[in-house]
Amino acid sequence: MRIILLGPPGSGKGTQAQLLVQRYGILQLSTGEMLRAAVAAGTPVGLKAKEIMAGGGLVPDDVVVGIISDRIDQPDARNGFILDGFPRTVPQAEALDELLKQKHLKLDAVIELRVNESALLNRVETRVAQMRERGEEVRVDDTPEVLTKRLASYRSQTEPLIHYYSERRKLSTIDGMMAIDEVTRAIHRQLLALGAVEPKTHSRSAAKTAPAKKARAAKKSAKKPAKAAKKAVKSAKAAKKAAKKAVKGSKPATKTATKTATKKTAKKAAKTTARKAVKKGAKKTAKKVTKKRAKR
């Protein structure tokens, strides 16, 4: 992934570049640091830059592009990089495009952090006033006057890059006045939309939340037996209650059945007694008749 961050001084490019480096494991390439490293290493391009700087001159674009070329060829730049401080002009952007073309690389995104210049100046004025009230030393390059000059330089030299990259459909504009974390999320969403990053390989937040998700799943699984046991107890209670209700409901039926059975038994006994009485009465009558006949 190869990215360029654009924005005026105070827009938060440096902060966002560091966050992108941490999140995606890519390099932040600062032209100033690369120049110093090339000079210290004594590379051919570094020696040329050293000679120019020693004479008080500005390092030409072709030398800077040469230093960038050497740096992105190193193994630690394979995953990608963020260019910090380059390109600053349209000719530099054209030179960078040619370099990447020669190396068969592509520029994935140009992120513009758009800010309100008046708000930036107000912030600096407030910060400087507070520092002076506390008796703190104010940096000479951190004053409203210096910022005004730097903003003017940005508008004249670097702002044309917005049109340059917009024509090539590389530009994405983010509201730099949002909170830092909101800007970071907006950049990430834009990189996803452009296909510069993949969610499964570059989402550290997902990696952080994975253990938490596993813990929640384990906790949920652990709750299942307890939940089942609770349900079983509830079912048993319901069954017991139903049984009691059934027994209670059967009492009247049992009482009625007993009463009915008693009536049947009494009726049967009465019939038996009646038969016996009839039979006994018949016997007595028969004896009386026999006695009378015997007397005659």
User: Mean pLDDT over residues 248-262, rounded?
Assistant: 51
Helical packing angle, 61-72 and 31-41, nearest 10°? 80
Encoded tokens for 76? 């630690």
Q: Read off the pLDDT of residues 122-171 as tens digits, 9 standing for 90 and up.
A: 888 888 888 888 988 877 777 888 888 889 988 998 999 999 999 999 99
User: Mean pLDDT over residues 43-60, rounded?
Assistant: 83
Does the structural domain 2-26+79-202 have CATH classification 3.40.50.300? yes
Per domain, the residue ranges of the chain are 2-26+79-202
Among 22, 12, 49, smallest CA distance to 204 is for 22
2 in catalytic set:
no
Identify the active-site residue in 78, 103, 139, 267: 139
Whether 281 has a binding-site annotation, put simply, is no
Sheet holding 27-30, edge to edge: 27-30, 81-84, 2-6, 109-114, 171-175
Encoded tokens for 270? 């009465």
DSSP annotation string for 190-232: HHHHHTSS-HHHH-HHHHHHHHHHHHHHHHHHHHHHHHHHHHH
239/244 Cα distance (integer angstroms): 9
3-class DSSP state for residue 39?
A: helix
pTM of this prediction exceeds 0.95 = no
Identify the active-site residue in 23, 114, 150, 185: 150
Rounded to a whole number of angstroms, the distance between the first and last alpha carbons of the chain is 149
Whether the CB-CB separation of 37 and 192 falls below 8 Å is answered with no
Whether 240 has a binding-site annotation, put simply, is no
Encoded tokens for 123? 């912030």
Q: Give pLDDT, residue 48.
A: 87
155 in catalytic set:
no
189 in catalytic set:
no
68/38 Cα distance (integer angstroms): 10
Tell me the helices (H) and strands (E) count for the chain, helix number first. Answer: 11, 5
The answer to whether residue 179 scores a pLDDT higher than 90 is yes
Identify the active-site residue in 88, 114, 123, 185: 88
13 in catalytic set:
yes
Share of the chain above pLDDT 70, in %: 67
Encoded tokens for 203? 């989402």
88 in catalytic set:
yes
